[in-house]
Amino acid sequence: MTNLIELNGISHSYGGPTVLEHVHLTIDEGSFLGVIGPSGSGKTTLLRLLLGNLRPTEGVVRRRADLRIAYVPQVETVNWNFPITVSEVVLMAAAAKWYRPRATESERKRVAELLEQLGLGGFEHRHIRELSGGQQQRVFLARALHRDPELLVLDEPTSGVDVRTRHEVVHLLTDLHRNGTSVVLSTHDINGLAAHLPLIACVNRELIAVGTPAEVLTSSVLERTYGAPMEVLEHGGMLLVTDSPMGIE
């Protein structure tokens, strides 16, 4: 198993307080890692450091040469009023290579195949705003897959989507992982997403724990991560995390 990315003693600040401190983390080939933590804990910063969008203020990031990374941002950050169609979004993935404004026949064919594969066949000329939440998420996944990535990074892929869409996204990512794509994602959804992943990293300004759900989803680790008491129950072989607010009987 080879390392795709290695973070060695990474710290980062945006000019103010430190957002992440002394993080050591290795992303191996074939990883399927979920990063959990409360809002403002540094999850997105960690992803941006992995992607190379940010340079750490301290520490070293080692990325395998010629590693093909693709990124799916949070759908909440997308400008849905931007005048753009589904196929134009997917075609962006080839932007770095091409100086030709119009797509070639082979590019259009590849886009159509990808959209078909993700259940979006026939949606090529639709405006992105005209799609449902799940379809919108899949358009951005199609753009990422257009690069045939070795590592797929997703920021909150199930945020703001309904249960059915969440299941679709989880199945899609599982299929991609099974077919050899390494996946790293951040999520707030412990029970619906993180608990189903083989590996979880708990972050709150520092890397608190990394391990399988059984190793990491414990009351003590979760309390250190979220700063609040949390209970872990087992139901049908699955771990379920519940918060236990103080003062409510």
13/174 with CB nearer another protein: 13
Is 247 an interacting residue with respect to another protein (CB under 8 A)?
no
Q: How far apart are the C-alpha atoms of 239 and 241, rounded to whole Å?
A: 7
Is 40 an interacting residue with respect to another protein (CB under 8 A)?
no
Is 84 an interacting residue with respect to another protein (CB under 8 A)?
yes
Is 238 an interacting residue with respect to another protein (CB under 8 A)?
no
Interacting residue with another protein among 63, 127, 167, 188 (CB under 8 A): 127
Is 210 an interacting residue with respect to another protein (CB under 8 A)?
no
9/122 with CB nearer another protein: 122
Is 83 an interacting residue with respect to another protein (CB under 8 A)?
yes
Interacting residue with another protein among 29, 58, 88, 150 (CB under 8 A): 88
Least CB distance to another protein at residue 168 (A): 21
Per residue, the 3-state secondary structure of the chain, as one string, reads: CCEEEEEEEEEEECCCCEEEEEEEEEEECCCEEEEECCCCCCHHHHHHHHHCCCCCCEEEEEECCCCCEEEECCHHHCCCCCCCEHHHHHHHHHCCCCCCCCCCHHHHHHHHHHHHHCCCCCCCCCEHHHCCHHHHHHHHHHHHHCCCCCEEEEECCCCCCCHHHHHHHHHHHHHHHHCCCEEEEEECCCCCCHHHCCEEEEEECEEEEEECHHHHCCHHHHHHHHCCCEEEEEECCEEEEEECCCCCC
Interacting residue with another protein among 36, 70, 118, 195 (CB under 8 A): 70
Residues of this chain, 135-194, that bind another protein according to CB under 8 A: 143, 147
Per the CB < 8 A criterion, the answer to whether 224 and 204 are in contact is yes
Per the CB < 8 A criterion, the answer to whether 146 and 110 are in contact is yes
Is 65 an interacting residue with respect to another protein (CB under 8 A)?
no
Number of chain positions touching another protein (CB under 8 A): 34
Per the CB < 8 A criterion, the answer to whether 70 and 120 are in contact is no
144/169 with CB nearer another protein: 144
75/241 with CB nearer another protein: 75
96/163 with CB nearer another protein: 96
User: Which span sits near another protein by CB under 8 A: 93-101, 169-177, 179-187, 196-204?
Assistant: 93-101
Least CB distance to another protein at residue 185 (A): 15
Is 98 an interacting residue with respect to another protein (CB under 8 A)?
yes
Beta strand pairing call for 18-28 and 32-36: unpaired
Query: Can you give the binding site for another protein, defined by CB under 8 A?
Result: 14-15, 48, 51-53, 69-71, 73, 77-85, 88-89, 91-99, 101, 127, 143, 147
